[in-house]
Amino acid sequence: MITLRNNWKLEEVQALLERPFNDLLYQAHQIHREVFNPNEIQVSTLLSIKTGACPEDCGYCSQSARNNTSTEPERLLPLDEVINSAKAARSTGATRFCMGAAWRNPTDKSLDRVIEMIQAVRKLGMETCVTLGMLTEKQSQALKVAGLDYYNHNLDTSPEFYGEVITTRTYQDRLDTLESVRNAGINVCSGGILGMGETERDRARLLQQLANLPQHPESVPINDLVPIEGTPLQNTESLDSFDFIRMIAVARIMMPHAYVRLSAGRTEMNDEMQALCFFAGANSMFYGERLLTTDNPNENHDQQLLSRLGMQMEQLANNRCA
Ligand code: SAM
Ligand code: DTB
Ligand code: SF4
């Protein structure tokens, strides 16, 4: 029997993270197979629809105007380019198309253009996700009316460590955006980044924040920091692989019905590590050789990996991806 909880205490989360590795993975995997088919993985493809020149100062990001990175700023992509990318993603087997924009928040005018993109991608029979920064209640409702399936907005880290990484928007701003997305009836996609120099306590606090939201996010991306030259975090020591896998397992235990997404950082992970992440409860990933501005494993590699593991890509139940 799976019970959903929204009252996790920090000590409980820390105790889970510190369980012997095999005990933790066994516990997470049992929950995983009670709720999901453990041999299926949901795949989404990303597209950066507006790149760079972002006014925010996120210390990890290639797209902040404050960071001196090699990412070239681009204007909002024309609709036909977005449609062509979505068609290409659909032909490789992706069922969800996620569009990201380097904005603090969208203006109403730019939101109208994104809404056209959402409607066009839906017409292709794909699920839609966008990540556009902060939203007002009214903007969230407009996205819902447009038929948006998921909104991605990450808490990124613990409330305590947050200020070390981002100063231009608060943790509360992020919680407010998540609330407006939830109130509008859009599925919530929210997770974080590991390996930014945070402590284990910070990682526990991130999961506690996510799991203690009034309703668990439907999708929880766990990103391993992609260190980008020219950002304040470029030389951060990488997180131990087992600590990363532990976070996947604890996310699975705390949010049993969420899709836990093995997100950025897969190019640095070997196949065995990814297989352990799937065993620990990750059942979603980004598919296609580009994330937003950085590389992801290519489709051939991922198809081979899934085939070696006897896993399949999840199909849409309602046949929207006909
Ligand atoms: N501008 C919007 C925002 O920040 O909400 C949307 C795009 S932003 C690039 C989406 C998410 O990508 C961030 O919240 C962060 O969690 C993740 N991300 C960005 N750069 C990353 C990096 N170098 N390594 C890992 N994850 C990263
Ligand atoms: C998320 O949590 N990870 C994705 C998606 N949501 C938008 C983005 C990862 C970005 C990695 C760095 C880059 O490619 O710029
Ligand atoms: Fe801008 Fe998003 Fe990058 Fe932060 S993470 S700098 S808000 S694009």
CB 31 within 8 A of CB 253: yes
- Give burial (CB, 10 Å; 0-12/13-18/19+) of 156: buried
277 is catalytic: no
Residue 43 pairs in a beta bridge with: 285
The 10s digit of each residue's pLDDT in 201-224 is 999 999 999 999 999 999 999 999
Pocket test for ligand 2, best of 97, 223, 229, 287 (most atoms within 8 A of CB): 223
58 is catalytic: yes
The model carries a pTM of 0.94
| Beta strands 282-286; 259-262: pairing state | parallel
Q: Which atom of ligand 3 is nearest to the CA of 61?
A: 3
Residue 42 pairs in a beta bridge with: 284
CA of 105 relative to ligand 1 center, distance in Å: 14
CA of 25 relative to ligand 3 center, distance in Å: 33
Residue 203 pairs in a beta bridge with: none
Tell me how far apart the alpha carbons of residues 118 and 148 are, in angstroms, rounded to a whole number: 7
Going by pLDDT thresholds of 50, 70 and 90, the confidence category of residue 9 is: very high
The 10s digit of each residue's pLDDT in 51-92 is 987 999 999 999 899 988 878 787 999 999 999 999 999 988
Beta-carbon neighbour count of residue 234 at 10 Å?
14
